Structure 1
């Protein structure tokens, strides 16, 4: 057997190990859609706050409740799109959508995300909302990095970018909204496009 055949066998073994330990059917299109939803949500939020709240978001009143509803809607649309597109890709690749690797992916993604969400709710209840956008980016980035061990490793790079943007947002709270737009909106679209052409298009 030639050296080329050995290298081919090693590559095939590595691919089989990755498939058995990682959930690799994440869809790049879901990232693009998540970014679009985030931009739409940000546009609605900006309009509401700028028009009816004079550029300042207060924790009481209908503006804040509406903004929270917009954020929840963005998250729900992103989740539904992600589940649908990922399920479709998994079926196409002959993978199970709910197996050991996908469960580990979800658990490791949710632990930092839920912890961060609860922490943000706590500081909001204390009237400290200046760094909310930065904290959302940081905990989301940590969730991506934590989940990358059980999925496509490239998502950790998006996680590092989100954390960096989040740290900048905590240093400059006045730019938190726009950094949130860059992180959840623009970076998702860029990342999703890159992942789509790298992994989805064959």
Structure 2
């Protein structure tokens, strides 16, 4: 066996090991759609608050309830779209959708997200609204970084960006809405577009 054939075999073995330990069926389209949903949802929220006759939210008010519903719809549509696109790509690539790598990915992502969601609900119950946007960005960033071990490693850079935006949001809570738009809307579209470029090169 020549040295070139040996190196080729090593490369193939490395690729097989990488595929078996990482979930690689994520598509950039999932990120783009998530970003678009976030932008549309943010526009709806802005419209609701602007036409409510006040520029603040209260926990027992209908405005706050509409905003929460808006957030849940954004999350729901993002998850459903991601599952649909990812399942479709997995079938196209001839790989299993639900395997050990998928379970590791979901567990790593959901633990910080669930912990963050519970904490946010606790402070909202205490009528502390100012840091909600910052906490959403920070915990989401931590979830992405934690999950990056089991999927494309460059997703951690999106996580770092979300955390930085969250910290800025905590320092300047008055700009929380716009930083949320940048983090969940603009950055998802940018990252998803970069992933699509990488997919076309493969």
User: Considering the TM-score relative to the shorter chain, is it more than 0.5?
Assistant: yes
Q: Which residue of 2 aligns with 1:108?
A: 108
2:20 paired with 1:16 = no
Task: Confirm or deny: 8 A CA contact 1:120 1:132 kept in the other structure.
Answer: yes
Q: Which residue of 1 aligns with 2:185?
A: 185
Q: Provide closer, same or farther for how the CA distance between residues 200 and 78 of structure 1 changes in structure 2, counting only shifts above 3 A.
A: farther
Displacement, 1:9? 2.2
Unaligned runs of 5+ in 2: none
Q: Over residues 18-62 of structure 1, what are the superposed CA-to-partner deviations in whole Å (9 max), with x where a residue is unaligned?
A: 111111101110100000000000000011112214222222211
Mean CA deviation greater in 176-185 or 52-61: 52-61
Q: Which residue of 2 aligns with 1:175?
A: 175
Q: Which residue of 1 aligns with 2:28?
A: 28
Residue pairs, 1:1-202, within 5 angstroms: 1-199=1-199, 202=202
Q: Secondary structure at the match of 2:51?
A: helix
Unaligned runs of 5+ in 1: none
Displacement, 1:201? 6.2
Displacement, 1:8? 2.2
**Distance across 2 between alignment mates of 1:170 and 1:121:** 17
**Distance across 2 between alignment mates of 1:75 and 1:201:** 30
Q: Secondary structure at the match of 1:52?
A: coil
Task: Confirm or deny: 8 A CA contact 1:27 1:200 kept in the other structure.
Answer: no
RMSD: 1.2
**Distance across 2 between alignment mates of 1:162 and 1:7:** 39
How many matched pairs? 202
Q: Over residues 143-177 of structure 1, what are the superposed CA-to-partner deviations in whole Å (9 max), with x where a residue is unaligned?
A: 00111101111111100000010011001100111
Q: Over residues 130-149 of structure 1, what are the superposed CA-to-partner deviations in whole Å (9 max), with x where a residue is unaligned?
A: 01001000000000011110
Displacement, 1:3? 3.7
Structure 1-normalised TM-score?
0.96
